[in-house]
Amino acid sequence: MTKPHQPWFIRRPLPPQVQRVHLIGIAGAGMGAFACMLQEAGYTVRGSDQNVYPPMSDVLTARRIPWMEGWDAAHLSWGPDLVIVGNICRKENPEALAAEARGIAVSFPQAFSDLFLADRAPVVITGTHGKTTTTALTAHLLHHAGLDAGMLLGGVSANFNATYRLNQTPAAPFVVEGDEYDTAYFDKGPKFLHYRPQIAVLNNIEFDHADIFDDIAEVELSFDRLMDLLEPSACLLVNGDDPRALARAARARCRVVKYGFEAGAALRAVEIQPHAAGADFRLIHEGIDRGLIRSPMAGRHNVWNTLAAFGVGLTLGVGLEALKAGLAAFKGVAKRQEEKGEVGGVLVIDDYAHHPTAIRETLAALRARYPGRRLWAVYEPKSNTARRDVHQADYARAFDAADEVALARPFAKRNDFPDDARLDLDRLIAEISARGPRARYLDGVDQTLAALRAEARAGDVVVFMSSSGFGGIHERLLAALRADESDPTPTQRQAGG
């Protein structure tokens, strides 16, 4: 499909004085966090959204940030100097139209860049997989080493118990998750093009975001544009094990540092040993064996993430011993192999994995971390990438490390993909089962809970994988298991084995 030509990205002039800021879509995870960041920086903040509910409603209330329900041009009557247009906002939105007429509408990535990155040293973490974990880890390592590092990521850092950290030191590093998703209805360029990286990380490139990209070539083009924006004084850290990432990095005019597992990487992990507490590996830095690195994170993918974060730290002058100490103190990120609780010997884990590569690596990591335990993979194919058939064959192989696989049937969306372009769940279940794991589909949260409640037994590990909250299934399962412990019925206990 030929798409109309679009400029790389859109930058609009900010008003000369900005003090009062209105956010359209304030209750979204990213926009809500940005509202808190603006307030902490001294701006007067208000916003609007539809169907505001916890946890963001609780966050905004606790911070005394007012919001208005729905969309109405009258919501701008309080006289904001700047209106930040969230990605959820469409061009017909009456508040956006009113802001456009006043010349004060800008995108979230531009506002963040202009208001917070202009006088700092942006460290931009990009790639299809690992952005959130690598951003959180990098910010934590720098902060642990004594640098006043800022942070903005698309998840909750357990070390900071926050999605952002606002630093105060001019020219200090600010670590930001650089998303390739488009910016706003008036700016179809990737968000990361706004972020002025002095250090950039390119971890990997695969096809994702099937709602805005037609094929892998369009994804690659987005990263090509980022490479072309890097100044000669910048530094690019690239995963040397990813051919697509390497091909993009060849365009960069700046210093390029490779990390990975293969010979030729400036930062190389060898002798990788996964275990129940995470993973160990030996670090080879510029040809010199720098000794054993002990990581609390499981999985090969997290070794790449660690190498990238170490690369940023070394580039900024942090010593290796300080990086190792920081890594040992890293607590992870919410919804990334996050242990939600264990009841009756059944361990419940929440994970964001929705792309087949992420599912494969996550399950392999959990298999190594919990050897000998029966592993349930409960997957909700909710994202547009998951619901499209482009990864049909890859999904069949992604669940090999699991014992039990339960798939939720993809729900229909307005303006959905045509039937012949959608993931064929029945075929996928048959293909997974043919490879070894027992696979089935379970319709909805209630049916899934009933099956797990009846069949899960002591020693099982249940990982829920979804790009959403999955209907709160994690806490509901734990509550059900607690109820069964208090008042077990023969049917429930016997069915569980």
Q: What is the CATH number of the domain that holds 40?
A: 3.40.50.720
In what side-by-side order are the strands of the sheet with 438-441?
Answer: 338-343, 346-351, 461-465, 375-379, 404-407, 438-441
The verdict on 249 and 310 lying in the same domain is yes
- Last residue of some domain: 266, 297, 328? 328
Range of the domain at 69: 20-108
Over the stretch 355-402, which tens digit does the pLDDT of each residue have?
899 999 999 999 999 999 999 999 988 777 777 777 788 889 999 999
- Last residue of some domain: 59, 84, 108? 108
Over the stretch 271-328, which tens digit does the pLDDT of each residue have?
999 998 999 999 999 999 999 999 999 999 999 999 999 999 999 999 999 999 999 9
pLDDT of residue 52: 84
Residue recorded with tokens 């670590």: 175
Residue 100: burial class (beta carbons within 10 Å; 0-12, 13-18, 19+)? middle
Question: What is the residue type of 175?
Answer: V
The share of the chain scoring above pLDDT 90, in percent, equals 73
Over the stretch 407-438, which tens digit does the pLDDT of each residue have?
986 655 555 666 666 778 888 899 999 999 99
pLDDT of residue 193: 95
Domain membership flag for residue 231: yes
The verdict on 152 and 85 lying in the same domain is no
Give the integer Cα–Cα distance in Å for 423 and 418.
10
The verdict on 467 and 415 lying in the same domain is yes
Over the stretch 106-152, which tens digit does the pLDDT of each residue have?
999 999 999 999 999 999 999 999 999 999 999 999 999 999 999 99
Q: Which of 104, 101, 136, 127 is nearest to 23 (CA)?
A: 104
Domain membership flag for residue 102: yes
Domain membership flag for residue 401: yes
CA dihedral of residues 210, 216, 218, 220 (deg, nearest 10): 130
pLDDT of residue 489: 60
The verdict on 37 and 136 lying in the same domain is no
Domain membership flag for residue 27: yes
Domain membership flag for residue 54: yes
pLDDT of residue 2: 46
Residue recorded with tokens 């361990």: 347
Number of domains composing the chain: 3
The verdict on 76 and 199 lying in the same domain is no
pLDDT, greater one: 441 or 468: 441
Say whether pTM exceeds 0.85. yes
Structure tokens at 176: 């930001």
Domain membership flag for residue 100: yes
Over the stretch 24-37, which tens digit does the pLDDT of each residue have?
999 987 899 899 99
The verdict on 60 and 161 lying in the same domain is no
Residue 497 has pLDDT above 70, yes or no: no
Q: What is the CATH number of the domain that holds 199?
A: 3.40.1190.10
pLDDT of residue 202: 98
Over the stretch 272-281, which tens digit does the pLDDT of each residue have?
999 989 999 9
pLDDT of residue 212: 74
The verdict on 228 and 294 lying in the same domain is yes
The verdict on 134 and 250 lying in the same domain is yes
CB atoms within 10 A of CB 477: 24
Residue recorded with tokens 């490139």: 205
The verdict on 356 and 314 lying in the same domain is no
The verdict on 85 and 157 lying in the same domain is no
The verdict on 49 and 144 lying in the same domain is no
pLDDT of residue 417: 62
The arithmetic mean of pLDDT across residues 153-161, rounded, is 91
Is residue 140 within 8 Å of 157, Cβ to Cβ? yes
pLDDT of residue 211: 75
The three-state DSSP-derived secondary structure of the chain is CCCCCCCCCCCCCCCCCCCEEEEECCCCHHHHHHHHHHHHCCCEEEEEECCCCCCHHHHHHHCCCCEEECCCHHHHCCCCCEEEECCCCCCCCHHHHHHHHHCCEEEHHHHHHHHHHCCCEEEEEECCCCHHHHHHHHHHHHHHCCCCCEEEEEEEECCCCEEEECCCCCCCEEEEECCCCEEECCEEEEHHHHCCCCEEEECCCCCCCCCCCCCHHHHHHHHHHHHHHCCCCCEEEEECCCHHHHHHHCCCCCEEEEEECCCCCCEEEEEEEEECCEEEEEEEECCEEEEEEEECCCCHHHHHHHHHHHHHHHHCCCCHHHHHHHHHCCCCECCCCEEEEEECCEEEEEECCCCHHHHHHHHHHHHHHCCCCCEEEEECCCCHHHHEHHHHHHHHHHCCCCCEEEECCCCCCCCCCCHHHECCHHHHHHHHHHHCCEEEECCHHHHHHHHHHHHCCCCCEEEEECCCCHHHHHHHHHHHHHHHHHCCCHHHHHHCC
Domain membership flag for residue 188: yes
Residue 21 has phi, psi (to 5 degrees) of: -125, 130
The verdict on 312 and 359 lying in the same domain is no
Domain membership flag for residue 13: no
Give the integer Cα–Cα distance in Å for 124 and 177.
6
Q: What is the CATH number of the domain that holds 370?
A: 3.90.190.20
- For 9, 51, 265, the CA distances from 100, given in Å and listed in that order, are 17, 24, 48
Over the stretch 52-109, which tens digit does the pLDDT of each residue have?
877 788 889 999 999 999 999 999 999 999 999 988 899 999 999 999 999 999 999 9
pLDDT of residue 416: 61
- Last residue of some domain: 59, 80, 108? 108
Residue 495 has pLDDT above 80, yes or no: no
Structure tokens at 465: 């994988």
